[in-house]
Amino acid sequence: MCVYNETMQKDHPMLTIKLKNETEIPFDEGPVAVFEEDIFAGEAIIPFVNKGLEQQIPYSVDETIEVSKTTTSGNSESYKLEIKKTCIIYLYSTETTKYRVFNNSNQTKLLIIEHPKREKYELYETDNPIENSASYHRFLLTLEPFGKTTLEIKARSPTTKRVSINDLTLKNLNEWEQLSILSENQKEFIKSRLEIREKINELNKKKKELQTEKNEISSDQQRIRQILDVFKDRQEEESARKVLLAKLKNQEQKTKEIRDEEVKIEKSISDLNKKLNAPFKEGQ
């Protein structure tokens, strides 16, 4: 039986023998020589083996089998969402490992691949291992003469990411709807927040426009006052002075209307921000 364990040999598996202690006394640790049909095949160290137990003992490298290993990491699609002070998206950190194996011999061989376990990771979309130990998943492969095969092992671990409620976008909403991870209450909550933010943006845009208009009026008033200073001692310009004074009065009234409108807008923004910052309640 061949056993591949990357920590023992990176490119080749080890030839092993299965040793079962069927005696009434434990086996002590020590070196042994392994012979196949009276031909020396290698050396091994037998670990302590209590009675009734068995161990797979590596004794030589099998260079007729080549193994290469690649691992890629990523994240899978979200599978659950909670709304608290932020939006908490539950997804999986994923890890995909591929063992590519080539049998360079003219014999059919059995190969066990010992794939290390990772804490908090579980296998998915992967054939069941033939055995699990505390540290490894063990997979059995049958290798045809001069054949190639690939073992793909997928593992995942739950993780989360957070999105501030104030940073939510329509893209988030559409993505989570497609994944079917939103309750109706969550969907309505997010929609309402997007609508409120849009209203706040519109009001802030209006505020900016009013401020620009107010600045233009102020500049024009300053120009009018400069002209009136020139006209104050010239009787022939009386009619022009009256026109300018009337315009100045209209501008003062317009400025007052703008200030009143700004106060209303500020009040509306304040009310909307209170709604925007209201916490989500499931079932509301």
For residue 46, the model assigns a pLDDT of 77
- The answer on pLDDT for 284 being more than 80 is no
Q: What is the pLDDT of residue 138?
A: 96
Q: What is the mean pLDDT of residues 84-111?
A: 95
Mean pLDDT, range 63-72, rounded to an integer: 96
The predicted model gives 211-223 an average pLDDT of 93
pLDDT band at 19 (very low <50, low <70, confident <90, very high): confident
CA pseudo-torsion sign 186, 191, 196, 200: positive
Per-residue confidence band for 233, with pLDDT thresholds at 50, 70 and 90: low
Q: Chain-wide mean pLDDT for the chain?
A: 91
201 phi and psi angles, rounded to 5 deg = -60, -40
Residue 66: which pLDDT band, with cuts at 50, 70 and 90?
A: very high
Share of the chain above pLDDT 70, in %: 98
Rounded CA gap, 75 and 71, in Å? 14
**The predicted structure's pLDDT at residue 210:** 96
Query: Would you say residue 255 has pLDDT above 80?
Result: yes
Domain locations in the chain?
Answer: 2-63, 66-178, 184-276
Mean pLDDT of 154-176: 94
Average pLDDT over residues 64-89: 94
How confident is the model at residue 111, as a pLDDT? 96
What pLDDT is stored for residue 227 in this prediction? 85
- At 245 the three-state DSSP class reads helix
pLDDT at 260 > cutoff 70: yes
Q: Which tens digit of pLDDT belongs to each residue from 119-160?
A: 999 999 999 999 998 999 999 999 999 999 999 999 999 999
pTM > 0.85: no
Q: Crossing angle, helix 170-178 and helix 184-231, to 10 degrees?
A: 170
pLDDT band at 283 (very low <50, low <70, confident <90, very high): low
What is the reported pLDDT for 231? 74
Reported as a pLDDT band with limits 50, 70 and 90, residue 239 is confident
114 by Cβ neighbours in 10 Å (0-12 / 13-18 / 19+) ranks as: buried
**Residue 37 Rama label (left phi>0; alpha psi -120 to 50; beta):** left
